[in-house]
Amino acid sequence: MPGTASETSPAVAVHGVTKRFGDVVAVDDVSVDIAPGEFFSLLGPSGSGKTTMLRMIAGFELPTSGHIELDGDDVTRRPPFDRDVNTVFQDYALFPHMDVRRNVEYGLRVKGVRKPERRERAEEALRTVRLDGYADRRPHQLSGGQRQRVALARALVNRPKVLLLDEPLGALDLKLREEMQGELARIQRDVGITFVFVTHDQNEALTLSTRIAVFNRGRIEQVATPREVYEAPTTEFVAGFVGTASVLDGDAARALVGADGPFSVRPERIRIVDDAAPAVADVRASGEVVEVQYHGDGTRVRVALDAGASLLVEVANAADEAVPARGERVAVEFSRADALAVGGVPA
């Protein structure tokens, strides 16, 4: 219901929002509250509805039904310029003919803020993103990460209550992306405003977020902290999409865990042992190695079990553990407590 702003109001409240594009339902009856000061991520695969949801919060799209509140005020039909939010896009959208200072000042100039205040607030925003000293440069003289920080400064200079970020690190290479993740987390802590962050990158969401809403086919499958989403997934989709997990169901679940399932087991919880060695853990199964993938700090080994399922196992390379070869017979072991029933309850 439309409300009045108060100290206890969510920064963003989404109530039963649906968005249709013709016959396509992009967002399907979504409700979620985002608290003031949260770093809240909308996570999901392409086409899951997360960006459409962000665009409705920003005002670039109107819901087909439902309503959206910002700090207790119903903004469902308000245009973007009449909402106390700013959006940072993946492509930066900087003006190439303007220097950094004028790019950052642009929104203030449109609002009629006088030049001395514009200058002071632009310099403060550039200090926040660690770009003081870059004010006279043009965008083409900056690296990708620096241009992204200019885009952040341009959004922050307006002092919005909510900052919306639409895959802002997607155009950066892996090393720079990891560096910018740390910068984003620091900036959010320093300014203390609510960040709503869209990403399809599970590790990015797990690293940055206070809470995560996992989207799938236009609906939210789970809203929880990163630890809860990873360690206690409430649906099979979340178990498979966030991080990596093997899912045991049916006969395999009954044979290994003693119940119908489905159960998810994270690869770092499973050990590969000699097939002839005595059992140590309370769940043990034999099988054949069908896939071996080296990826730097670890090697992922897929074992096809005689019980009829397959398990993905993470072998830490730094631990000097022996990595079996494809076609080798092995045993796998894990604790029954690590077989998590989809729904968050240990077996």
Q: Are residues 126 and 206 in the same domain?
A: yes
How much of the chain exceeds pLDDT 70, in percent?
96
How much of the chain exceeds pLDDT 90, in percent?
66
Return the CATH number at 186. Answer: 3.40.50.300
pLDDT over 50 at 319, yes or no: yes
Its pTM stands at 0.86
The pLDDT tens digits for 77-119 are 999 999 999 999 888 789 999 999 999 999 899 889 999 999 9
Q: Is the Cα torsion angle 168, 185, 53, 73 positive or negative in sign?
A: negative
Task: Tell me if 239 is assigned to some domain.
Answer: no
Helix (H, G, I), strand (E, B) or coil at 197: strand
Residue 292 binned pLDDT confidence (cut-offs 50, 70, 90): very high
Q: What are phi and psi of 100, to 5 degrees?
A: -60, -45
pLDDT over 80 at 286, yes or no: yes
Q: Are residues 152 and 257 in the same domain?
A: no
Residue 7 binned pLDDT confidence (cut-offs 50, 70, 90): low
pLDDT over 70 at 320, yes or no: no
Q: Which of 28, 3, 86, 92 shows the shortest CA–CA distance to 221?
A: 28
Q: Measure the CA–CA gap between 206 and 204, rounded to whole angstroms.
A: 6
- Residue-range definition of the domain harbouring residue 314: 244-346
Mean pLDDT score, 174-202: 91
Q: Are residues 67 and 25 in the same domain?
A: yes
User: Average model confidence (pLDDT) for the chain?
Assistant: 90
Q: Are residues 298 and 193 in the same domain?
A: no
Return the CATH number at 269. Answer: 2.40.50.100
pLDDT over 80 at 321, yes or no: no
Q: What total number of domains does the chain contain? A: 2
The burial of 221, by beta-carbon neighbours within 10 Å (0-12 exposed, 13-18 middle, 19 or more buried), is given as buried
The angle that helices 100-110 and 144-156 make with each other, rounded to 10 degrees, is 20
Cβ density class 60-98: b for 16+ within 10 Å, e for less = ebebeebbbbbbbbbbbeeeeeebebbbbbbebebeeee
Give me the residues paired with residue 211 across strands: 40
Give me the residues paired with residue 300 across strands: 293, 314
pLDDT over 80 at 226, yes or no: yes
pLDDT of residue 179: 86
Q: Measure the CA–CA gap between 149 and 131, rounded to whole angstroms.
A: 8
pLDDT of residue 3: 40
